[in-house]
Amino acid sequence: MKFTMDKIIHFFEYAQCYNHYTQQIESIRQKRIKGETIVAKPVLMVAIIDGIEANVFRNNQFVINDWLEGH
């Protein structure tokens, strides 16, 4: 499934939204180096979601900070 920035997705139920974005994160392409999968992209996404839930990110922007690096 391709995702474009002009696509608007409306969710009315938390479970539906959670399932959609979980699927999106799981389908992120990951690079393989010497047979090992590099999971940096999905890990970063999960850390950002955790930061949003923990109220670490209060603005509409994400900055690499001590909390995110240590997560």
pTM: 0.49
DSSP codes of every residue in 8-70: ----SSHHHHHHHHHHHHHT----EETTEE--HHHHHHHHHHHHHHTT---SS-----HHHHH
Per-domain boundaries in the chain: 14-70
3-state secondary structure of 1: coil
pLDDT value, residue 38: 85
Per the CB < 8 A criterion, the answer to whether 51 and 57 are in contact is yes
Question: Average pLDDT over the chain, rounded to whole?
Answer: 76
Q: Kindly report, residue by residue over 3-35, the tens digit of the pLDDT.
A: 455 666 676 788 888 888 888 888 888 888 999
pLDDT value, residue 1: 45
